[in-house]
Amino acid sequence: MTLSQLIRLNMARFQAKTWNTKTMSSKSAKSCFSKSMKPMKQFKRPRISKISVVGAGQVGTAISAMLLLRNLTKNLVILDINYELAQAEALDFQHASAFLNDARVVPCGDSTNSKNSDVVIITAGARPSGKDRSRLAAMQKTVEILKKAVPKLVELSPDATFIIISNPADVMTYAVQRITNLPKHRCFTTGCHLDTVRFRNLIANRLRLPPSQVHGYVIGEHGASAVPVWSSVSIAGIRLNDVVKNLACGDDPENWAKINKQVTTGGLAVAKTKGYTNWAIALTCADIVQAMSGGKGKIACVGTDMKGLSGIQDNVVLSLPCLVTSGGISHVFELPLTDVEQSKLMASANILLEAQCSLSI
């Protein structure tokens, strides 16, 4: 065989290989798995350049710090009704701009500087107070704040993705969706993404493993009725449920159910001493913005109107695992649940529905 014949033969083999690979990947795209992945909306944002953080309190300032430190924006607006506070926080960051990739940090008291933001993060609101620090109790006060602040923000940045942090975060997201008519894929809350990382951290501590290597989700309300999905917990592909007898149920010989309570009262344990929580939510929010920025996307338990998914029949905002990409939520995953987990999810949805119905919007 001549050299040129040999080259032609090798090329033909290479092309056949390439073609086979393509065929395989197009077949796998039609997998039955796609039935568990409900499309919400594909909306690509070329890049995130401008972010506005509304509320310069403990949470808003911590979020601003994380966004700047992670280089997630070069143009940050800090907005507070207390303009002097916004100005002081912005100046404090601006002084260190050289350590923050030369980011520009601008204060704002009346929304104007937020014009053309790509992402708007809402933290303005009343903090839960009183003995039980109920998020639902602070609800109506925060709705009044949102009714005043949000329409102008949407008018100035009609294409922005809105991330709602103000508590009760699920109900406030519903309120913002109702006040503004923003589509549900780009108006959502970090919701149970925070509860999920708390859950994984508690399991990891018990098993003496790195928290990032534990998988599993918390769904439903970001609050007291959140549902830790024990049947979804896995480490190195081993389902905890398969190896631990009566995991967090029945006689629960290893007492895993203790973690359920720790997940839902995690914030309270911190706020009891500090009066607020801020670092964990700030990192949670930055993680979501990073998922939107990097082009890779991420599956996280965030909350939006989940009507029609996982047995939810009403327009209720709650968290389920979602694929978060540049424009917001592109897909929602219907997690297989045990009967007990499904009924807990329904109970959580009913609590939220009741809270939504009690709002005066």
Ligand X SMILES: NC(=O)c1ccc[n+]([C@@H]2O[C@H](COP(=O)([O-])OP(=O)(O)OC[C@H]3O[C@@H](n4cnc5c(N)ncnc54)[C@H](O)[C@@H]3O)[C@@H](O)[C@H]2O)c1
Q: Other CB atoms closer than 10 Å to residue 139's CB: what's the count?
A: 23
Rounded to whole angstroms, the Cα distance separating 126 from 141 reads 6
Rounded to whole angstroms, the Cα distance separating 202 from 187 reads 29
Rounded to whole angstroms, the Cα distance separating 349 from 329 reads 20
CB 125, min distance to ligand X, A: 3
Cβ closer to ligand X: 73 or 123? 123
Name the catalytic one among 185, 193, 222, 331: 222
Q: Tokens representing 41?
A: 């909306």
Residue whose structure tokens are 């996307």: 297
Cβ closer to ligand X: 260 or 319? 319
Of the candidates 125, 228, 327, 328, which one interacts with ligand X according to CB under 6 A? 125
Cβ closer to ligand X: 123 or 348? 123
| Using rule CB under 6 A, residue 149 touches ligand X | yes
Q: What are phi and psi of 356, to 5 degrees?
A: -60, -40
Rounded to whole angstroms, the Cα distance separating 244 from 256 reads 10
Site track for ligand X across 37-56, x = CB under 6 A:
-----------------xxx
Of the candidates 69, 81, 204, 257, which one interacts with ligand X according to CB under 6 A? 81
Q: Tokens representing 236?
A: 């190195």
The residue with its CB nearest to ligand X is 57
Cβ closer to ligand X: 10 or 358? 358
Q: Other CB atoms closer than 10 Å to residue 213's CB: what's the count?
A: 11
- Between the alpha carbon of residue 288 and those of residues 153, 189, 303, the distances in Å are 20, 10, 12
222 among known catalytic residues: yes
Q: Based on the number of CB atoms within 10 Å of its own CB, is 140 exposed (0-12), middle (13-18) or buried (19 or more)? A: middle
| Using rule CB under 6 A, residue 167 touches ligand X | yes
| Using rule CB under 6 A, residue 114 touches ligand X | no
| Using rule CB under 6 A, residue 277 touches ligand X | yes
CB 205, min distance to ligand X, A: 20
Binding site for ligand X (CB under 6 A): 54-60, 79-82, 85, 123-125, 127-128, 142, 145, 148-149, 165-167, 169, 190, 194, 222, 276-277, 281
Which residues are catalytically annotated? 222
